[in-house]
Amino acid sequence: MPGKQMMAAARKTNQVDINLGQLNEKQEQFMRSTKRYACYGGARGGGKSHALRIMAIYGAIKYPGIKILMIRRQYPELQGNIIEPMMKLVPNTVAEYNSQLHQMYFINGSVIKFGHFQSYEAGDAEYRGQEFDWIFIDECTQFSESEFRLLGGCLRGVNAIPKYFRLSCNPGGIGHFWVKRLFIERKFITDSKNPEENENPDDYEFVFARVEDNTALMNSPDGTAYLQMLSQLPESIREAHRNGNWDALGGNYFPEFSKDHVCKPFSIPAHWKRYRAFDYGLDMFACLWVAVDENGRCYVYREYQKSNLIVSDAAQEAISNTGIGERIAVTFAPPDMWNRQKDSGKSMAELFMVNGIGIIKANNNRVQGWLQVKELLKPLTDEKPGLIVFSDCKKLIENIQEIQADEVNPNDCAKEPHSITHICDALRYFCISRSLPAQAIQAQIERDEFDDVGDDYEDTMTGGEATTSYIGY
């Protein structure tokens, strides 16, 4: 990696000068890192994006034929903060930018690919199977840990170029907790039974920077005004954005969720009542299996999540992932399952029924539903939480720590990014529906129990929301 003087000097590529400018001390430290994962973060205005841009250009020049991927969540941000500034730094005699392919081609064979990443599913379709020598994520706290790991699977190749993953961020966002865990707290998975899940502490480095470290900004006419703006923010936001305090601003809707809510899987006693709850859309089918013990404590003991499933396939997956002889008392589903489809005139509730899954309409009051989740996360009389999740339900554990409070209505969860909301919604449907007051409603659950429904079918499928008449806890 270059030193400060080296970076300050112009680099010659085929007799063309490229002035990459001068780095401040923290940017230079970031550039020199030889760790597989290095993250540059802290306060806003610390010069993070510039460090990524310079390092990408430097790598493209130093390693002919290198393949580099630069990612941001939204394309307009990528265009304004990354692509356009880089085009100003690199003359077209050294590299040309293809606006259709969003790639910069260097005359030495190096390629920088610019991509945005709107959802896990879109990213999976775009990048799975691809190989890159260096990967950059600007504002990585806008990404979930699963998205980060998905891109990490693309960091490979058989050449001699060192493989680097470089990130920049500020506190807050859906990725706040995994970034904080890996780079700030340095709490690594080292004892997993699956060696592939273990994390090597020697692979990670964090470079902390405050706005004062950005000498270019501080020496500019706008430096004082920018500091003043940051200093006038509300206290928690000011601590995060002005001082880079990772404890001041998490934004997570469920800060109470902790390791106490996770347990190792065990054999569920036969007499415990079992439930399913799911959220369904073509973009994602997310299903949870929950068992309730004698004290009302709820254990999420199984999860399933997959995209692009039609109703018949989703129903089959719910059935096949339910154990043989495992009796499910109730399957909760969102109310929109009862909406009639324009093409067939049937509801998805009907389609689930004919495919073997009788479902009960869950309450869809979002705020009350989230409050019910929070209630179950509280300790019961024995000081253990009312909701516990098996450790192999990794998606739920990850997403419940990532989901943010809505900026407009802090009593509600944010609906974006949509990819992390599905399995949390399934949990919400279970939590609120099992707490409803009793009503005189009778429902049959398994397919073979619907054989003689006849004229009562419509009443069976639309008889209202789930109640304690068949929850019975």
Same domain, 237 and 285: no
Evaluate whether residue 253 is within a structural domain: no
CB-CB contact of 27 with 42 (8 Å): no
Number of domains in the chain: 2
Q: At 168, is the secondary structure helix, strand, or coil?
A: strand
Full-model pTM: 0.69
Tokens describing residue 180: 């904080």
| Angle CA 316–464–438, to nearest 5 | 110
Shared domain check, 226 and 301? no
If asked whether residues 45 and 174 sit together in one domain, one would say yes
Q: What pLDDT tens digit does each residue of the chain (473 aa) get?
A: 554 443 433 344 444 557 777 888 999 999 999 999 999 988 887 788 999 999 999 999 999 999 999 999 989 999 999 999 999 999 999 999 999 999 999 999 999 999 998 878 888 889 988 999 999 999 999 898 889 999 999 999 999 999 999 999 988 888 888 999 999 999 998 887 788 889 999 999 999 988 887 777 777 877 778 778 878 877 777 887 788 888 876 567 898 998 899 999 999 999 999 999 999 988 899 999 999 999 999 999 999 999 889 999 999 999 999 998 899 999 999 999 999 876 667 899 999 999 999 999 999 999 999 999 999 999 998 899 999 999 999 999 989 988 888 878 888 998 888 888 999 999 999 999 875 433 322 333 333 333 333 333 343 333 344 443 333 33
| Residues 136, 281 share a domain | no
Asked if residues 376 and 298 have their Cβ atoms less than 8 Å apart, the reply is yes
Phi, psi at 362, each rounded to 5°: -80, 155
Domain boundary among 241, 269, 288: 241
**Residues 322 and 428 both lie in one domain:** yes
Looking at residue 467, its pLDDT comes to 40
Instruction: Retrieve residue 427's tokens.
Output: 């949990």
* Judgement on whether residues 368 and 325 belong to the same structural domain of the protein: yes
360 Cβ contact list (under 8 Å, min separation 6): 330, 331, 332, 333, 433, 443, 465, 466, 470
pLDDT at 128: 86
Q: Which domain holds residue 387?
A: 259-471
Domain CATH number, residue 24 = 3.40.50.300
350 and 443 share one domain: yes
Per-residue b or e along 212-231, where b marks 16 or more CB atoms closer than 10 Å to that residue's CB? ebbbebbeeeebeebbeebe
SS3 110: coil
Max intra-chain CA distance, the chain: 85
Residue ending a domain, among 211, 241, 271, is 241
CATH code of residue 348: 3.30.420.280
CA–CA gap between residue 299 and residue 293 (Å, rounded)? 8
Tell me, yes or no, whether 216 and 269 share the same domain.
no
3-state SS class at 441: coil
Residue 450 lies in a domain: yes
User: How far apart, in whole angstroms, are the C-alpha atoms of residue 153 and residue 374?
Assistant: 35
Q: How far apart are CA 242 and CA 227, in angstroms?
A: 8
- List alpha helices for 79-183, DSSP H: 84-89, 120-127, 145-152, 176-179
Asked whether residue 152 falls in the same domain as residue 301, the answer is no
Q: Phi/psi class of residue 296: alpha, beta or left (left: φ > 0; alpha: ψ in -120 to 50)?
A: left
Q: 274 and 228, same structural domain?
A: no
Q: Which amino acid is at 288?
A: L
The three-state DSSP-derived secondary structure of 274-314 is EEEEEEEECCEEEEEEEEECCCCCEEEEEEEEECCCCHHHH
Pick from 68, 43, 42: which is nearest to 206 by CA?
42
Same domain, 236 and 377: no
Residues 314, 204 share a domain? no
Tell me, yes or no, whether 401 lies in a domain.
yes
Domain boundary among 206, 241, 276: 241
